[in-house]
Chain A
Amino acid sequence: MTKKLSKSYFTEDERILRVWDIEDIKDLMARRGFYIASEMHREELNDLWVTSPEYRKTASLGSNLGYYVGMDDIANYYVVKHTEDRQKLLDACCAANPAVKNHRDNLGYGCMTFHPVSTALVVLSDDGHTARGNWYVIGQDSTWQPGGPASCRWSNDKLAVDFVKENGKWKIWHLVIANDIQVEASKTLNDKPTIAPPGSDPAEVEFNAGDPTVRMLTHNKVLNWSDNYPTEPEAYFHFDDKDSYGPEGHPKYEKYQEK
């Protein structure tokens, strides 16, 4: 149900501040896009995600196959594991090409990540303390491979994010990256089997290789958007976990808990 609000609910001062809240949130997600491209995962968590203990505990990073919950779990996957993977790749690269120095500045050698956000749909709560938004990404992931060429693939995702205002600054609280398509460059999508063999989807393999806090199927891309997750935000008064983009907000979360 859409809760429609009369403009007279807010003063003019509040209205322009709310306009700016939404613009700041759009900027925040764009910054994240640039951080990712610059391999600044640690900086992203420090600068753009929640920092207060209350929100750090309940922060989450979700994908088609579940969620990492709590900033520690998120950081272990998104920073520690990611860095380890990049180091392994660099080790292989240096072994293949001794001219390449095995130094942390070379992490990401031969790799490129391009995940710009578009199609922003942002809703600010009435109380001004939280916000929710969707974005769409048509992205590219390129990874060094011995002997070349690089593994280059398109990755299209719907992002769904809950934000909270901490000390006057907007921060990411819950983020879902719901992948729709993975296609290798120069290959046609038309070659892919409807039911992917287990372990064949690189994004899913990568997500699971960490240790997700909650393992559940959140989005089945075979059904297009029939599962309607993550769904678009509607106008709302106060934040409620049941409507969030954290695991508690997933329509099948209770079923997952029963298991």
Chain B
Amino acid sequence: MKKHLTLSQRIHNAEGAQAAEFLHAKHAYLHAKAHEKEEYSEIWTRSEDASWAHSFGRWRGWKNVWWGHVANYNLIYLDVYRQMYDLVPEVAFLTDFRSLGELAMHSLSTDIIEVADDGQSARASFLTPGVISSALHPEMKWKGFVLWERYGADFVFEDGEWKYLHEQVCPDLMGPFDAANSGMDSYNRLVNPPAGGPPPMDTNAKRLQDIGPLHNSYTTVQTVQNTVPWPEPYVTMDNNNTYTQKL
């Protein structure tokens, strides 16, 4: 119990803990349908301190985060729209076809959440078992894969509202659903490496401020990584209590 805080502070912080879960869930649902514009304009801070990171690197500053997620977002849905226009009749009449690209559902579990004593920030880590899928391919077959990741997120209390500040995504496992065995598949790749070596990392390198890799996916010989440590109780956000250290 946080008896060193006033009752008002504790109520505010209780709301902050709930807000951290709410905002991350909101992200999950908006991302699942590729509503990135809504996400990054409505629930993110527009501060220069904002950041978004993946294994390939990090964007710093809301303008760069916006670039990565909205301006430069994977435009596959346009291709899908054109390809499927005649193949699946319902596609033609959609007014918003962003979701055609895929259903990217990153469910949230294993929440560990702390709110700063000063009530100005909150931090959360999650494990996220996910499935990425779509029925819309010119071969007229579904495609889908599992994608299990870890999240570390910071939130800030700004103008009377809680907003996203930092997000770091750490993919661990990926494979066709349900035909993969990540342990055995990884071992087999080690023993019989594919010709040409592993595929180059998609750095999406333009405008990244921190170049990756920031996290490696599981392999048989990958050392233990604690890329997004769970948050501990803290007083105020600083470089010891954040998922993006200030430079």
Please give the residue numbers on chain A whose beta carbons come within 8 Å of chain B beta carbons, in ascending order: 2, 4, 6-7, 12, 15-16, 19, 22-23, 118-122, 134, 136, 138, 154, 156, 180-181, 183-195, 220-226, 228, 232
Contact = CB atoms under 8 A, between A and B. Distances in A.
8 contacts: A7-B160, A12-B7, A15-B15, A136-B107, A189-B176, A189-B178, A223-B136, A232-B30
Contacts of A121: 22, 25-26, 29
Q: Which 4 A-B pairs have the closest CB atoms?
A: A189-B144, A225-B33, A188-B179, A121-B25
A15 B32 CA distance: 31
Nearest to A217: B90
A179 to B, nearest CB: 12
Contacts, number: 139
B11 A15 contact: yes
A248 B137 CA distance: 33
A19 B25 CA distance: 16
A16 B14 contact: yes
B161 interface: yes
B33 A228 contact: yes
Contacts of A225: 32-33, 99, 103
A227 to B, nearest CB: 8
B186 interface: no
B85 to A, nearest CB: 13
Interface string B14-34: 110010011001101110110
B90 A183 contact: no
Contact of B141 (A2, A194, A232): A194
B102 interface: yes
B144 A223 contact: no
Contacts of A180: 103, 105, 133
- Greatest chain A CB density within 10 A among B133, B140, B142 is at B142
B90 A138 contact: no
A226 B11 contact: no
Nearest to B129: A138
Nearest to B84: A194
A224 B136 contact: yes
A25 to B, nearest CB: 11
Contact of A138 (B25, B131, B134): B131
Contacts of A184: 178
Contact of A22 (B18, B28, B30, B108): B18
A213 to B, nearest CB: 25
Interface residues of B, number: 52
Interface string B116-144: 00000000000001010111110011111
A196 B140 CA distance: 10
Binding site secondary structure of chain B? mixed
Contacts of A154: 177-178
A181 B108 CA distance: 18
A34 to B, nearest CB: 16
A119 B179 contact: no
A226 B100 contact: yes
Given A189-B142, A192-B142, A226 B131 contact: no
A4 B161 contact: yes
Contacts of A185: 178
B96 interface: yes
Given A120-B25, A194-B141, 16 more contacts: A4-B161, A16-B11, A118-B107, A121-B22, A134-B25, A136-B105, A181-B133, A183-B144, A189-B143, A189-B145, A192-B142, A223-B135, A224-B101, A225-B33, A225-B99, A226-B33
Given A15-B15, A180-B105, A224 B178 contact: no
- Greatest chain B CB density within 10 A among A12, A22, A156 is at A156
A120 B26 contact: no
Contacts of B133: 180-181, 189, 224
A16 to B, nearest CB: 5
A225 to B, nearest CB: 4
Given A194-B140, A232-B26, A224 B11 contact: no
A224 B25 contact: no
B78 interface: no
Contact of B33 (A4, A16, A187, A224): A224
Contact of B88 (A186, A187, A222): A222
